[in-house]
Structures are given as structure tokens and as C-alpha cells.
Structure 1
């Protein structure tokens, strides 16, 4: 009996060692791919990731303030102001009303990035919880969530405020995504509240890359716009959601 127990323990120890060795020899890209294939939660950025456009720029164009906002965006990208300052200044220029947002949504249908619908469904069918985490506006992002069958309670974005007459009244500065470091804060809270063990962040921007850690892995996305800084910081950088779909397909074979 004793030799059998020793043999069993030895086999277990050998398998454990082999598993650790296999993980240790993975490349950084393979490690991220493995986390993605076994994820229990995936968070997507929205603008230029889930959808093909940048919501605030498109809304500014619609409201006739495109060039002013574009100049301010360039200034903000130069690091001359915080994210929240840039957001406030841009919104003070646009000052979108409830009626303008409603008209914008009616006249400009959502342009989902190819492959995102299939990818989200695949993840959800596997039991993976999907969230949208964005520095954009909830009023523009909730329709995107509806289209992808993602609960609105799984949307983290900025809330616009309006007066009773529907005119613009500001934005909720208490929303984490309205300031620098907001996305990491959202992800940290999700992990604390729900106990996610393998949470992946996917997005095109620097604020998405900054979310890992606390995210267990980050996948850079360049299907709509390629940002070299993000590409350099990504162990796994994809230019099509089909690459992620194919990765999940490999796991199920």
C-alpha cells in the first residue's frame, strides 16, 4: 500500500512540476492568450474598439463644434491637462442637449466593429461576464450594450446631467471613468465585488493599457485605429476580433 501512495504522490508532484514548467516557458503573448481563453470576465473599451467611431468627436461634429473639440483633444493628448479637465472643457464647448443626443442616435446608427457581436456571444455562451468600460457617455453607450445583449448594469461610463428643460448641465464628476486612473479603479472594484480570478481588458487606448494590473491581462486592439504607444505596451496586439474568436475556437476543439 505504501509504495502505491508514494507512487501516486510522485506522479502528482511530477504533473505539478510539468504544469509550472509549461507556464514558465510561455512567451508573454502566449500567457495573455491563455488568460483570455480561461477568463471569467472580459471588459471592453467602447470608442474605436467595440464601435468604429470616437463618440465624443462624432457628437461634437453633429453639434457643429468638431474643430474646436479636435484642437482641445490634441492639447489634452499633449499632457497639458488632466483627463477630467479635458472632458469638462470639451463638454463645455459641445453642451449637448437631450434633444440633440436623441437626434444624433436617430440619425447616426451604431457602427459596431466587425466580429464584436460574435465574440461577445461566444464569451457569454462560455459563462464569461462581459462589461463595457468607457470614458465616453452612458447615453451613447447603453444603446451599444443593448445591441450586444450586455446588461446596462454592466456599463461603466460617464453620466451627462441636464436641466429640466433638457439643456446641458454638466457631468457626474464622481464617476470613476471621468478622471485619470478611472478604468483601473473600475476593474479593481469588479474583482473585489465579484471575485473574478481572470479578468481581461481589451481596448485601443493608453487608459485601457493602464488598467492591467489590476486586470490580469490586457489585449491591445488596433482594428479601427493603431496607436503605436499601445501597441508597444501590448504583449498581445490584434487588429481584428476574428483573432480572438479563433483563439476561443482552438480551446473548444
Structure 2
């Protein structure tokens, strides 16, 4: 059809070595903004400005500040006997906040990161923050493709081992993300009326690296017109709004009749999954971003996935 872009994705090179190293230290002063630069393979680029309060403290400091770094026996029992474990993606399964990195690539990193901090801290509804962030830079199809080629998602250290241990205990694994499917899974592009949903075919997408099937993924979709122009996001996805992760979890439990479900994540939308009828346990992973209000309300706060591995033994 004239004017419609091709629906066939192109394989994109994913570098084997994507080491992450911070080249500065953070001040412990609450609210202080610092600039970080990261070395990623052969490229060096400036990261977003992050508040120092978001950077996780040491285990010793966290233990003194929060009373939930040592889980109760009840928490351990739920964790060890979980039928299904649902993971957030950005700043949990992956090192980066995908939308912040995409915005940074498109030249709007700082303003978008500020909205992300508010959304993940729970001070604004997620759907408001998502729309506001995307409106600040309106990524085109070509920009998203270029971004994914140059800055593919980076898996968090320890997550592979944790998922392998969970599978050894016969637990089912899901990804429930407020990020975008384009950065998580692989499929063909799908036309949707006058719009176009892009699934970019990464050589090593996040879900494929972790062996997670598409039916076990809940995430948002970016929409594009046939010209490749940005055309919003799919508002039908439950994770596009506040309370959406709780809705996704209720759906998972109802359809599959799971007895015990655990949610692992870093943000307010992950904590929301702990609502009645939702997750039986919420574990806050603060190894990348530690959000105080979320950490304090969690059933268990961990800074390293090795802590969760040890809890399974």
C-alpha cells in the first residue's frame, strides 16, 4: 500500500561487551544533582542527571535506614514457595530506564528524567508522566531504530542466575514493565488502522536473553504513522497507567490460578502491584535506583540479586 512503511524488521547488531562504569561519585546530600558519564564498550556518553537520593546506599547504610533489609521468616517462606515471579524491567532487569535513555539520545534527557523520577516516586499518575515525557521529544520510527542499534538494553548483573534458580524451583517468570515492547521483545511490525506498532528486532532482546516468551510480557507500545512519525502510545496496554501492574497481576493469577505471586521492582507502580488481590509479596530492588518511599513500604528491600538467590536456598 502506498505510503505505508515496511513491516519487516531488520536485525540489529548487539555488542557482546557492554560494561558499565560510573566515572564519578555521588554526594549523599538529599536532592543534590550530579552528572554521570558511563563507559559502554567503545562509546562514552553522558548519562542523565540523577538525584543523589536515587543512588543506592551500601548494605550497611540501608540496614540502618530501613527496617526491611532482613526479611522475616514469613517473607522467606513466600519467596521460596512462589509459583510465579514478576519482574519490572527498567532499573531492575535492565540497568537503564529505557525512556530516559531514548530521550537522552533524542536530546531531551534531563527534562524527561525529571518526570521519570516523579512517576517512579509516585508523586504523579503514571499515565500523566508517560504522556508528558513522550510529548517532550516525540521519537520517530527512525530515531527508535537508531537508538536501539547504538544503545541496546543492558541486563543487570545477577539477574540471569536468579532466574535460573527460580526456574529450577519450577517458578514461572513474567516481565511487567512500564517501558516499551520495542526494547524488550521481538516480533514483526503490526499495522493498526492508520497507525503502526513497531517491534524492533534486536539481535539479543531482553526477553530472549532471559528465555521469557512473549505471552509472559506486559509492557507498553509506541505507535507510529505510516510516515514513521511518532503517534503516541497504545493506551489499551494495562501498564500504560497507574494501577496497571496490579491489574496485570490480577489477570495472571486469575487466568493461571497461581497460588503465590511475587513482584520485584524499584518503582511506585511496582509497589502498587501489592494491592489486595495482587502480588502476595513485593520485593524492592534498590541496586540501581533506590526510591525511599518505595523502599520503605516494601516487604523486603534488597540491593543485590545475590540476596534473593541466597533466600531461595
Give the distance between the partners of 1:184 and 1:175, measured in 2 at CA.
Answer: 13
Match of residue 190 from structure 1: 252
Residue 176 of structure 2 corresponds to residue 121 of structure 1: no
- Of 32, 45, 69, which residue of structure 1 is paired with 2:88? 45
Q: Which TM-score applies when normalising by structure 1? A: 0.82
- Of 84, 99, 102, which residue of structure 2 is paired with 1:56? 99
Residue 269 of structure 2 corresponds to residue 207 of structure 1: yes
Partner of 1:209: helix, strand, or coil?
helix
Q: 1:237 to 1:107 in 2, by over 3 A?
A: same
Q: Is the 8 A contact 1:146 1:152 kept in 2?
A: no
Q: Tell me the matched-pair count.
A: 223
- Of 92, 100, 115, which residue of structure 1 is paired with 2:143? 100
Long gaps (5+) in structure 2: 1-69, 186-204
Please say which structure displays the higher CA radius of gyration.
1
Long gaps (5+) in structure 1: 1-26
**1:45, distance to aligned residue in structure 2 (A):** 0.6
- Of 215, 223, 232, which residue of structure 1 is paired with 2:287? 223
CA root-mean-square deviation: 1.9
**Counterpart mapping for 1:155-166 below 5 A:** 155-166=217-228
Q: 1:80 to 1:242 in 2, by over 3 A?
A: closer
Q: 1:84 to 1:71 in 2, by over 3 A?
A: same
Give the distance between the partners of 1:225 and 1:100, measured in 2 at CA.
Answer: 26
Q: Is the 8 A contact 1:60 1:66 kept in 2?
A: yes
- Of 78, 93, 111, which residue of structure 1 is paired with 2:154? 111
Give the distance between the partners of 1:53 and 1:92, measured in 2 at CA.
Answer: 20
Give the distance between the partners of 2:179 and 2:216, measured in 1 at CA.
Answer: 14
Q: Is the 8 A contact 1:33 1:236 kept in 2?
A: no
Give the distance between the partners of 1:194 and 1:205, measured in 2 at CA.
Answer: 25
Match of residue 43 from structure 2: none
Residue 237 of structure 2 corresponds to residue 175 of structure 1: yes
Q: Is the 8 A contact 1:50 1:116 kept in 2?
A: yes
Match of residue 113 from structure 2: 70
**1:31, distance to aligned residue in structure 2 (A):** 1.3
**1:81, distance to aligned residue in structure 2 (A):** 4.5
Q: 1:179 to 1:118 in 2, by over 3 A?
A: same
Q: Is the 8 A contact 2:93 2:155 kept in 1?
A: yes
Superposed CA offset, 1:34-66 (max 9, x none): 111111100001111111111111100001111
Q: 1:96 to 1:215 in 2, by over 3 A?
A: same
Question: Which moves more between the two structures, 221-230 or 79-88?
Answer: 79-88
Match of residue 89 from structure 1: 132
**1:30, distance to aligned residue in structure 2 (A):** 2.0
